[in-house]
């Protein structure tokens, strides 16, 4: 008959004097004449979240010790599992000796030992020990293991300390380490070496990256990454710090290599965001590099311009405020920093009101300044500052016949200060642009009755605007493009410097089908008619002529995560100025993205040759253990590949191996063709985020 020790403690004063802290459940409990309590049969003992299961437990009051006969299973409050054949412990199960023991941490790392000494409820000393996170099948050697003379497990610091350790692969010694420290699986931030990465590139030769992670408290850390290659000696660093209202990260590297004669080379980036008030955010993104080719030489980034930005932003339910400063640096051969312009300062405030007479009134004020330096070209030496205010009122109506009408009235005024450094004079100009628009939509819905619904929505917008005053230089609207989002907009310029004038009629129709089988499709046609042309529109914008290109756009969403979309601008002769097409497929075992783009040559925006290329990125989980990834970009206009890459990975519960190769074909004076090879080996199970990504191995009988 099962009995609770708590009852015995109440009935037997001799046993009560022992003050056992554990609660014991057993089939049979006996108290002997020499003050020993013997429990046997299906024993379970509980103390402070620790659970013990055994075949026989003997408690000696005089020594205040438990003698336990196995098989023994101890489960700790943090999920650790300890098995043994025999043990001598205190009643709190914190101190003592276990023989023939095996310790499992967080169901990931198992440690087998001839003997385990528990002390202070914190330390476990294991002797003649084998450590692995691989599945152990009988007497067969695991894929990898670490044999050590002694292992100390520190539960408080969540660390493993190994003495005279030997790393083995299938039982074969590979590496000897007299001292080794590893984090336990529950330790997410532990100072120490991270998995190394072996790399080989055409320009830098074979090398190895050895990242070392350093904790600097609960909210700060530093990662140092020495990179030793055939042609380089590089030290990379990343510093992160979190605060109660934000945080920042600094990443950089310093290199001494044989690729140039410039001495030390490197780069630095800093990103951060802070909540300086309840709704006011300060953010920054700073970038710098020693020379034009460093980022591409070290495969850090393909960026050909660097942008450093500091911004202060406030967003509420009905207003937006922002002030920002930007510095641009070019890495292109055919540009100088002075021509970009390098310094851009902007500020703006927007507020929405709901007046008593209906509709929504939006009031906006903004200013920006563009500063250049270091050039004598009259056009490229220009500095420009603008300050402007705008008000827009819009209201919606629905007629009894179901036509949705929106009326919009807007007025924008801007003042410009233009500085010409070569002429040593400034020019002040002003401009006002009133705009009115009537937009009509007539949604038609048809339900087939089997769960499929069709929505046909023709739309038309008549817009009238005029500019009064002088025409400023166009600095912020040099790239325009007609698309389904701006077809009915008041203006098709992205900025404030250029404006559309005259009468414009935008027409479009959208058909949407939502199928019962989970298929959703959208198809849009649109065209714009104007009474006058605007020379600021480029040839590839689709808006150069009084009659715009045909806009054709569509999207198809299929079950099982497949999405297709595309858009084209086609002129009256059937020629395309722009075509884009994309495909996405997202499933647990497939991640796929493919795209195609064609852009006609356009000298006005610095594109003397057409752009035509396709791209492909994919990741496939072939089996629970094997995964492959590949990417490619092919320049159809040049009839040559631009980039290609391939990766293969194998993983199980205890190891992750990844091999990758990539080739960059593009060439210029700053970017050279190069091939990169990479090999990484991760021993899984150590640290909380290092769980295996593959299926666990099986023990075949």
pLDDT tens across 349-402, in order?
999 999 998 999 999 999 999 988 765 555 567 888 999 999 999 999 999 999
Q: Are 562 and 494 in contact (CB under 8 A)?
A: no
pLDDT digits over 324-347, tens only?
Answer: 999 999 888 777 777 788 999 999
Given pLDDT bands bounded at 50, 70 and 90, which one contains residue 7? very low
State what percent of residues in the chain have pLDDT above 70: 91
The confidence score (pLDDT) of residue 1 equals: 35
State what percent of residues in the chain have pLDDT above 90: 47
- Where residue 298 falls (left for φ over 0; alpha for ψ -120 to 50; beta otherwise) is alpha
The confidence score (pLDDT) of residue 336 equals: 79
The confidence score (pLDDT) of residue 23 equals: 75
Given pLDDT bands bounded at 50, 70 and 90, which one contains residue 701? low
Given pLDDT bands bounded at 50, 70 and 90, which one contains residue 699? low
The confidence score (pLDDT) of residue 378 equals: 52
- How, if at all, do strands 502-514 and 562-570 pair? unpaired
Q: Are 349 and 343 in contact (CB under 8 A)?
A: no
Distance CA 387, CA 353 (A): 22
Given pLDDT bands bounded at 50, 70 and 90, which one contains residue 693? very low
Residues near 411 by Cβ (< 8 Å), separated by ≥ 6? 390, 391, 432, 433, 434, 435
Structure token pair of residue 269: 């980036």
| Closest C-alpha among 537, 513, 511 to residue 525 | 511
The confidence score (pLDDT) of residue 350 equals: 97
Partner residues linked to 243 by β-bridges: 246
Is residue 278's pLDDT more than 90?
no
Please tell me the pTM assigned to this model: 0.80
Mean pLDDT of 588-607: 90
| Closest C-alpha among 495, 435, 439 to residue 467 | 435
pLDDT digits over 168-183, tens only?
Answer: 998 899 889 898 888 8
Helix (H, G, I), strand (E, B) or coil at 565: strand
pLDDT digits over 631-646, tens only?
Answer: 999 988 888 888 899 9
The confidence score (pLDDT) of residue 374 equals: 61
- How, if at all, do strands 305-315 and 319-330 pair? antiparallel
Mean pLDDT of 478-507: 92
Given pLDDT bands bounded at 50, 70 and 90, which one contains residue 2? very low
pLDDT digits over 655-684, tens only?
Answer: 889 999 998 886 555 567 788 889 888 888
The confidence score (pLDDT) of residue 669 equals: 52
Is residue 112's pLDDT more than 50?
yes
Is residue 14's pLDDT more than 80?
no
CA dihedral 32→36→41→46, nearest 10 degrees, is 140
Residue that the structure tokens 């620790």 belong to: 50
Mean pLDDT of the chain: 86
- Where residue 681 falls (left for φ over 0; alpha for ψ -120 to 50; beta otherwise) is beta
Mean pLDDT of 110-135: 85
Helix (H, G, I), strand (E, B) or coil at 476: coil
Distance CA 629, CA 619 (A): 4
Structure token pair of residue 284: 């920054």
């Amino acid at each position: 008959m099962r009995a609770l020790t708590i009852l015995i403690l109440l009935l037997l004063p001799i046993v009560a004097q022992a003050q056992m802290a554990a609660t014991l459940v057993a089939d049979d409990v006996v108290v002997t004449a020499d003050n020993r309590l013997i429990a046997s049969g299906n024993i379970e003992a509980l103390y402070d979240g620790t659970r013990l299961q055994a075949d026989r437990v003997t408690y000696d009051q005089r020594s205040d010790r438990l003698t336990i006969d196995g098989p023994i299973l101890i489960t700790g409050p943090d999920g650790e599992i300890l098995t043994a054949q025999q043990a001598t412990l205190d009643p709190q199960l914190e101190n003592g000796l276990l023989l023939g023991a095996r310790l499992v941490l967080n169901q990931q790392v198992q440690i087998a030992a001839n003997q385990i000494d528990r002390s202070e409820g914190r330390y476990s000393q294991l002797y003649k020990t084998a450590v692995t996170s691989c599945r152990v099948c009988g007497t067969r050697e695991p894929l990898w293991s670490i044999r050590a003379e002694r292992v100390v497990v520190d539960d408080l610091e969540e660390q493993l300390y190994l003495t005279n350790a030997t790393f083995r692969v299938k039982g074969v010694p590979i590496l000897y380490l007299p001292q080794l420290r590893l984090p336990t699986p529950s330790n997410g931030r532990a100072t120490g070496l991270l998995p190394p990465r072996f790399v080989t590139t055409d320009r830098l030769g074979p090398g190895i990256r050895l990242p070392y992670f350093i904790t600097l408290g609960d909210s700060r850390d530093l990662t140092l990454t020495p990179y030793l290659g055939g042609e380089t000696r590089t030290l990379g660093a990343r510093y992160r710090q979190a605060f109660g209202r934000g945080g920042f990260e600094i990443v950089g590297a310093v290199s001494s290599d044989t690729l140039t004669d410039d001495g030390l080379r490197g780069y630095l980036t800093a990103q951060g965001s802070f909540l300086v008030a309840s709704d006011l955010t300060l953010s920054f993104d700073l970038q710098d590099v020693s020379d034009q080719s460093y980022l591409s030489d070290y495969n850090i980034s393909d960026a050909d311009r660097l942008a450093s930005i500091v911004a202060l932003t406030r967003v509420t339910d009905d207003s937006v405020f922002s002030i920002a400063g930007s510095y641009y640096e070019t890495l292109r051969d055919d540009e100088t920093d002075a021509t970009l312009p390098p310094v851009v300062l902007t500020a703006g405030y927007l507020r929405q009101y709901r007046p008593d007479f209906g509709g929504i009134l939006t009031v906006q004020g903004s200013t920006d300044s563009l500063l250049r330096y270091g050039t004598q070209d009259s056009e490229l030496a220009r500095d420009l500052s603008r300050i402007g205010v705008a008000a827009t009122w819009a209201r919606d109506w629905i007629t009894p016949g179901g036509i949705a009408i929106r009326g919009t009235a807007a007025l924008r005024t801007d003042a410009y200060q233009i500085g010409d450094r070569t002429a040593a004079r400034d020019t002040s100009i002003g401009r006002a642009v009133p705009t009115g628009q009537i937009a009509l939509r007539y949604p038609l819905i048809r339900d087939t009755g089997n769960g499929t619904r069709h929505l046909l929505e023709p739309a038309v917008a008549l817009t009238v605007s005029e500019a009064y005053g002088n025409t400023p230089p166009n600095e912020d609207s040099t790239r325009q493009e007609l698309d389904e989002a701006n077809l009915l907009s008041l203006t098709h310029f992205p900025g404030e410097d250029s404006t559309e004038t005259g009468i414009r009629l935008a027409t479009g129709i959208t058909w949407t089908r939502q199928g019962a089988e989970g298929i959703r499709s959208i198809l849009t046609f649109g065209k714009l008619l104007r009474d006058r042309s605007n020379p600021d529109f480029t040839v590839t914008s689709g808006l150069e002529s009084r009659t715009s290109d045909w806009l054709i756009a569509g999207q198809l969403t299929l079950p099982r995560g497949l999405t297709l979309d595309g858009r084209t601008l086609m002129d009256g002769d059937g020629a395309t100025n722009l075509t884009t097409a994309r495909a996405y497929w997202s499933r647990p075992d497939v991640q796929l993205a493919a795209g195609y783009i064609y852009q006609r040559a356009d000298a006005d925006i610095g594109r003397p040759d057409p752009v035509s290329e396709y791209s492909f990125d994919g990741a496939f989980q072939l089996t629970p253990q094997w995964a492959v990834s590949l990417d490619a970009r092919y320049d159809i206009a040049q009839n040559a590949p631009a980039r290609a890459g391939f990766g293969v990975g194998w993983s199980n519960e205890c190891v992750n191996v990844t091999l990758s190769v990539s080739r960059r074909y593009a060439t210029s004076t700053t970017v050279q063709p190069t091939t990169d090879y990479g090999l990484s080996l991760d021993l899984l199970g150590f640290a909380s985020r290092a769980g295996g990504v593959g299926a666990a191995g099986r023990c075949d009988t």
